[in-house]
Every structure is written in structure tokens, then in C-alpha cells.
């Protein structure tokens, strides 16, 4: 496809499928259009993390496209140079890694077809000039039979901003055109209306055509450019941000570094002399020096913490609009902030313009009532919620915002509230956000040393008559202990159904599972007990502050006496970024938030549960509840 740039000329002509198409099926990939398509293909399968750590260029990454799935060999897709890739429903879930789009480009893919593609994945495709189309529309229009689709049909499905991004060949060329004043921001014409929390934050952050921030109101479907309050990124993806900035603007790129932070957390458990580690850290440190961006570097006793945890502890406040180059940026919605998980290109564009494109999503309100039963945690709540038929099969939350409210929040510990928003994306939502409540106010006043009155002025409440796509009521007393089966967080079942399943590796940590509450719960189980012979239990605090508190309370001593391997802060184990994850073949029980195939290593089968269940199971050598010991 060789079309002139510019939204008008891009609407002319045909997108011709001249190089063929590939269907991703359960057994592999090929041209057999009648074979059942593989559903829920995650970005961990599209491009495994081991290759993300080694490469950041299209040619090399393209060789490993979809090698996280069985039956697909290195170079298989790239050698056939297909133009179109057809995926099953709800594919592209998981990590925001733009290595996936680089791999698509490196294999020659110009159009990705699939129903309910994950929001971040689809946006990342557009940011690289890769078109997307729902499979339903493709079939209705007879695209495969015709071997083409008019550019007018293809472009008409997108919002106004996405059309311009694709017309310019991607987000960074579009951003350059904006800087050069070649593009006018669309005007928001929505009039005053009752709004959700997210809509209120978006409305006051939305750019006008004159460049000011703040409009009267927004509604779902409005295409806006929103001013960001805070931004952060980490070494594994920052290297791509640097690449696209230099490719587009040259070495004289001018960026705005206020309220931007960089982290060395995702490769914190790779050796400092490992070429992968050195390459990414050196690149990010040079980037930070050049533009005077504050860094959280790995020190002798580990990094300050996992980026989401540190941002919540030290930087994010209620009402903020936050952009992070990671899918679990939604963790920060616990602060009553709108937290947007984005890719490396959107971080790069945002440090140039201090804003980011966004189509206003619909919101779903989850009203929490009642009390948790003893031993039940918000991990159980989210596994219970997102494994419901409405979430798992009917995709009710797909690319929408989960807004958590209800009187139960006033009794739910803040650490538990952070799990609600952190795991919103595991239910296929775009992000999550917490309504104002007492536990949130207590956390904010304590952590940021601000008067209650100041925090209360920051809080964003939904309007009484705000419109929601759906409303759900969840009685916390109905939730029991849950375990997610290997392959997807939405495969959760009651613990009793998997009781006794043997495992060899147990892990408590990550942004979702390394909070002080998680460590306390694990310590209560492990106190006076020993980890079973022949198994390994690793425990990790999510930040230095959590580690210090755990040491003060004697938790680290309990872990050590129980035979636990206590590791330093960092994101690595959760995403398979450790020295040995690719070689290990074992069953894993983890209290992390994600267990897609290949997530913690290609040959591992990963179950998910709460920290107390993980600790108890490590003592027993198989899945069980603490009461079973």
C-alpha cells in the first residue's frame, strides 16, 4: 500500500491484499480460513518477553512473531511476508509492549483483523500505521473474497484523531505535524451533562483547538487530545520511545520533562553485566541525562520499587490524569486518578506535547456492598468478578472503565482497593478508578503529608445522574477463595476445585501482590512453619518502603526462618524477566495479576491466588487454603 499522506488522500483508493493473509488458529498459523481461530491471543504470545529484551527493531522482532504459541516456528510468518493477520476474539490482551507492533511490521503486516481487539494493542497498531478491522465487518463487506477494501470504508470506522494518525503513517509523524501546526485539534461540541469520574477528568484535561485545556463536557465516543498531569516509563520500553523520537525529530528533539519519571524496574532481576540489562539501562540513563528527567535507578540493594507502586506512594494525587507506558498503569486508579496505560510511542509523543489522544470510553459502575469474609482478599474479589459470564464471555467490560464505588470501600483497606484497579485490565477493561472514600483519604493524607481539606478538594466525584454502560452490585460476603487456572486470569474457579494440585515454584510479589498487606498475610501463614521440601517460595516487596516496613515488623525474619528466598524489589519475576525463567519447566502458584501462556516463562503453567493461599500451598507443596494446614 503506497498512498499519499493526509486524511483526504488516505480516503482514496483501495487497500489491496496483494501479499496474502494468515489466520492464527489453535494449531498454528496459515491460510486455512475455515480452521477455528485462536481466541484471546495475548501480547506475551504475539512476541514473548525474551525477544523484547533482546531486540527493539522490526527485522529481528518480526522473526519471532507469534512464537509464544505452539506450532509457530522462528521466521515462519516473516518468510511468507503476509499483508494481513487474522486473530480470534479478544486478542492483543496483556502487556502494552510495542515490540508486538514492531514484530508485525517486521513480518510485513499492514492490517490486523479481529473482533474486540484489546484497546492498548489496537491503539499501538494505529500508532505504527497498521490498520485494524473487526472480523465481523470484514466478513460483512466480503473483504477476503474481494481481496480488497476501499480506503474510504477502512478509514470511516475510525474516530477523527485516529484517521489523522493513520493518514500521517503513525502517531509520531502525526505529532510532528501537530508541532508544525499542520493539524487542528477537533473541537468538542458536547454540552453540559451529568458525568462519570473519568469523564470529568477528561473534560477538564481536553485540549481545545486553540490549545487550552478544559471543555464544558465530554461523552463516550468523543475523540479528544487530553493534557497529561504526570508521565512515567521504564527501561524495557523507553528504548523504543527514544528510537521513534530520533527517527521523527532527529537528535535535536525538544521535550518537556516536568512531572516525568523513569524507572529501572522491569529488568531489575537480570544481572547488571547481562548485555540486555546494560543496553537498556545505558540507553535510558543517557536519555535521562540529556533531558534532565528524574530516574529511579537500580542500586546495590535493588530498585526503589516497581514503577506503579512508587508512583502511587510518591507522585499521583486524586484527579490526576496519568500516562504510563505499561498496561498496569491502571493500578494508579486507586488514587481517584485517571490512569492510562499506553505504549512507548504515546509516551514519546506525550513528552513532546504534554498530551495524548483518547476516545472517551464508556464506564461501568461496580457497587461494593457488605464485608469480606475472614481470609478473603480483593484478589479473590477480582478473580470472582472478572470470571463471571458477563465479563469473560459477554465481554461487558471490553475497553471500558470500571468505576468502583459503594459503602464497602470505607472498610476496604487501601492496599485491597489498589488490586481492584490494578486488575481491571485483566477483565478486559481499559482502566479502573476508585470513588472517594475514607480509606483513600487516610492513605493520601498519610503518604503525602497533606491536610485532609486539601485532599478533599482534589477528589473527583461522579454526578448523581451520570450515565453508565452497565451497573453491577457485588456483595463482598458472597466471595470465597478463588484460583485462576493457567492461561488466563479470567479462568478462575473456587479453590476447592483445584485443591491438591502440586506445584514446584511459588511467588509472592509484583505491583499487585507485593504490598505490605500481602506480606503480612503471608507471614501469618508461614510463622512457625517451613516451606515444603523440593519446592521454592520467593517473596518480594513491591517497593523499598514496603520492604523497610516488613523488616520493622519482623516479617522478613519469619520468611527467612520458613525457608523463603526473599528477593529485592523489581518487576522481573512476574513477566519472566529473570536469568532462568526461559529454561524452567514447572507448575507455578503466584499472587500476581496475570498468567497468560508464556508470561512467566515459556514452559511454566501458572495458577493465580491470594498471598495467603500461595504461602499455605508452598508449605503443603500443593494448592490449599491456610485452614488446610
Which of 312, 343, 323 lies closest to 238 in space, CA to CA? 343
3-state helix, strand, coil in the chain (%, to 5): 40, 20, 45
Q: Is the domain of 246 the same as that of 132? A: no
Domain extent for 587: 482-628
Q: Are 242 and 100 in contact (CB under 8 A)?
A: no
CATH code for position 505: 3.30.499.10
CATH code for position 163: 3.20.19.10
Q: Is the domain of 462 the same as that of 510? A: no
| E strand or H helix that includes residue 307 | helix 307-314
Contacts with 106 (C-beta within 8 Å, 6 or more apart), sequence order:
57, 58, 59, 60, 61, 62, 63, 65, 78
**Residue 45 falls within a domain, yes or no?**
yes
**Residue 414 falls within a domain, yes or no?**
yes
Q: Are 21 and 144 in contact (CB under 8 A)?
A: yes
Q: What is the pLDDT of residue 574?
A: 79
Q: Is the domain of 368 the same as that of 245? A: no
Q: What is the pLDDT of residue 273?
A: 84
Contacts with 568 (C-beta within 8 Å, 6 or more apart), sequence order:
268, 269, 301, 302, 303, 540, 547
CATH code for position 468: 3.40.1060.10
**Cα-trace Rg, the chain:** 23
**Residue 510 falls within a domain, yes or no?**
yes
Q: Is the domain of 148 the same as that of 54? A: yes
Contacts with 298 (C-beta within 8 Å, 6 or more apart), sequence order:
264, 268, 272, 281, 570
Q: Is the domain of 45 the same as that of 158? A: yes
Decide which of 332, 358, 384 is a domain's last residue.
358
**Residue 203 falls within a domain, yes or no?**
no
| Rounded CA separation 154/152 (Å) | 5
State the first-to-last Cα distance of the chain, in angstroms, to the nearest integer: 63
**Residue 202 falls within a domain, yes or no?**
no
Q: Is the domain of 421 the same as that of 487? A: no
| Rounded CA separation 547/566 (Å) | 10
Q: Is the domain of 473 the same as that of 498? A: no
Looking up cell 507443596 gives 621
Q: Is the domain of 353 the same as that of 369? A: no
| Rounded CA separation 189/208 (Å) | 10
Decide which of 358, 389, 404 is a domain's last residue.
358
| Rounded CA separation 539/360 (Å) | 39
pLDDT profile of the chain (629 residues), mean per 10? 39 84 88 84 93 94 94 94 95 94 97 96 97 96 93 94 96 96 93 98 96 94 97 96 95 91 90 88 95 92 91 98 96 98 96 97 98 97 98 96 98 97 97 98 95 97 98 98 96 98 95 95 98 96 96 98 94 74 83 86 89 98 97
**Residue 252 falls within a domain, yes or no?**
yes
Q: What is the pLDDT of residue 271?
A: 80
Decide which of 299, 323, 358 is a domain's last residue.
358
Q: Is the domain of 474 the same as that of 491? A: no
Q: Are 381 and 417 in contact (CB under 8 A)?
A: no
Q: Is the domain of 447 the same as that of 501? A: no
Q: What is the DSSP letter of 430?
A: S
Q: Are 346 and 324 in contact (CB under 8 A)?
A: no
Cβ neighbours around 57 below 10 Å, total? 14
| Rounded CA separation 129/131 (Å) | 6
Q: What is the pLDDT of residue 300?
A: 77
Q: Are 440 and 335 in contact (CB under 8 A)?
A: yes
Number of domains in the chain: 4
**Residue 219 falls within a domain, yes or no?**
no
Cell readout for 464 is: 448523581
Counting DSSP H helices and E strands in the chain, the numbers are 27, 25
**Residue 198 falls within a domain, yes or no?**
no
Sign of the torsion formed by the C-alpha atoms of 313, 318, 323 and 329 = positive
| Rounded CA separation 55/520 (Å) | 39
Q: Is the domain of 455 the same as that of 545? A: no
Q: Are 253 and 247 in contact (CB under 8 A)?
A: no
**Residue 493 φ then ψ, to 5°:** -135, 160
Q: What is the pLDDT of residue 444?
A: 97
Q: Is the domain of 108 the same as that of 241? A: no
**Residue 537 φ then ψ, to 5°:** -120, 120
What's the maximum distance between 2 C-alpha atoms anywhere in the chain? 72
Which of 296, 317, 312 lies closest to 569 in space, CA to CA? 296
Amino acid at each position: 500500500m503506497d498512498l499519499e499522506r493526509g486524511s483526504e488522500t488516505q480516503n482514496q483508493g483501495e487497500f489491496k491484499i496483494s501479499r496474502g493473509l494468515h489466520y492464527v488458529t489453535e494449531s498454528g498459523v496459515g491460510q486455512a480460513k475455515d480452521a477455528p481461530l485462536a481466541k484471546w491471543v495475548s501480547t506475551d504470545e504475539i512476541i514473548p518477553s525474551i525477544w523484547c529484551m533482546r531486540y527493539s527493531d522490526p527485522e529481528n522482532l518480526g522473526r519471532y512473531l507469534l512464537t509464544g504459541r505452539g506450532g509457530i516456528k522462528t521466521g515462519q510468518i516473516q518468510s511468507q511476508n503476509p499483508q494481513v493477520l487474522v486473530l480470534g476474539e479478544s486478542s492483543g490482551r496483556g502487556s502494552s509492549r510495542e515490540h508486538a507492533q514492531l514484530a508485525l511490521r517486521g513480518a510485513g503486516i499492514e492490517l490486523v483483523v479481529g473482533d474486540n481487539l484489546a484497546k492498548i494493542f489496537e491503539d499501538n497498531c494505529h500508532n505504527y500505521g497498521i490498520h485494524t478491522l473487526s472480523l465481523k465487518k470484514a466478513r460483512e463487506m466480503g473483504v477476503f473474497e474481494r481481496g480488497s477494501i476501499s480506503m474510504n470504508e477502512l478509514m470511516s470506522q475510525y474516530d477523527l484523531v485516529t484517521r489523522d494518525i493513520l493518514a500521517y503513517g503513525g502517531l509520531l509523524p502525526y505529532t510532528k505535524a501537530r508541532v508544525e501546526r499542520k493539524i487542528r485539534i477537533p473541537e468538542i461540541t458536547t454540552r453540559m451533562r451529568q458525568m462519570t469520574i473519568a469523564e470529568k477528568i477528561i473534560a477538564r484535561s481536553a485540549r481545545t483547538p486553540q490549545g487550552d485545556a478544559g471543555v464544558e463536557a465530554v461523552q463516550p465516543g468523543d475523540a479528544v487530545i487530553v493534557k497529561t498531569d504526570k508521565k512515567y516509563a521504564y527501561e524495557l520500553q523507553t528504548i523504543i520511545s527514544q528510537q521513534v523520537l530520533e527517527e521523527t525529530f532527529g537528535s535535536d528533539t525538544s521535550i518537556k520533562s516536568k512531572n516525568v519519571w523513569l524507572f529501572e524496574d522491569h529488568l531489575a532481576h537480570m544481572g547488571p553485566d547481562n548485555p540486555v540489562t546494560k543496553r537498556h539501562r545505558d540507553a535510558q540513563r543517557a536519555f535521562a541525562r540529556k533531558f534532565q528527567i528524574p530516574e529511579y535507578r537500580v542500586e546495590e540493594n535493588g530498585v526503589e520499587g516497581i514503577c506503579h507502586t512508587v508512583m502511587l506512594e510518591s507522585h499521583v494525587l486524586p484527579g490526576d490524569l496519568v500516562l504510563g507506558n505499561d498496561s498496569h498503569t491502571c493500578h494508579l486508579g486507586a488514587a481517584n486518578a485517571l490512569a492510562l496505560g499506553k505504549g512507548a510511542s504515546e509516551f514519546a509523543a506525550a513528552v513532546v506535547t504534554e498530551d495524548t489522544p483518547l476516545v472517551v470510553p464508556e464506564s461501568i459502575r461496580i457497587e461494593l456492598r457488605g464485608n469480606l469474609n475472614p481470609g478473603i482478599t480483593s484478589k479473590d474479589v477480582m478473580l470472582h468478578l472478572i470470571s463471571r459470564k458477563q465479563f469473560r464471555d459477554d465481554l461487558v467490560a471490553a475497553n471500558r472503565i470500571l468505576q468502583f464505588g459503594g459503602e464497602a470501600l470505607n472498610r476496604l483497606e487501601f492496599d485491597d482497593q489498589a488490586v481492584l484497579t490494578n486488575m481491571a485490565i485483566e477483565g478486559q477493561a481499559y482502566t479502573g478508578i476508585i470513588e472517594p472514600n475514607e480509606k483513600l483519604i487516610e492513605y493520601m493524607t498519610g503518604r503525602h503529608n497533606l491536610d485532609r481539606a486539601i485532599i478533599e478538594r482534589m477528589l473527583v466525584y461522579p454526578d448523581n445522574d451520570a450515565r453508565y454502560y452497565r451497573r453491577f452490585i457485588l456483595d463482598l460476603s458472597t466471595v470465597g477463595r478463588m484460583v485462576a487456572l493457567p492461561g488466563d486470569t479470567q479462568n478462575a474457579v473456587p479453590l476447592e476445585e483445584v485443591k491438591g494440585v502440586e506445584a514446584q515454584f511459588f511467588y509472592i510479589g509484583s505491583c499487585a501482590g507485593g504490598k505490605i498487606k500481602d506480606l503480612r498475610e503471608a507471614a501469618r501463614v508461614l510463622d512457625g512453619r517451613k516451606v515444603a521440601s523440593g519446592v521454592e517460595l520467593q517473596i518480594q516487596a513491591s517497593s523499598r518502603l514496603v520492604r523497610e516496613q516488613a523488616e520493622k515488623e519482623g516479617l522478613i525474619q519469619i520468611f527467612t526462618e520458613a525457608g523463603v528466598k526473599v528477593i529485592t524489589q523489581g518487576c522481573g519475576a512476574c513477566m519472566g524477566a529473570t536469568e532462568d525463567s526461559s529454561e524452567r519447566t514447572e507448575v507455578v502458584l503466584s499472587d500476581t495479576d496475570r498468567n497468560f501462556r508464556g508470561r512467566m516463562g515459556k514452559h511454566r503453567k501458572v495458577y493465580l491466588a491470594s498471598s495467603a493461599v500461595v504461602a499455605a500451598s508452598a508449605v503443603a507443596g500443593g494448592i490449599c487454603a491456610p485452614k488446610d494446614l
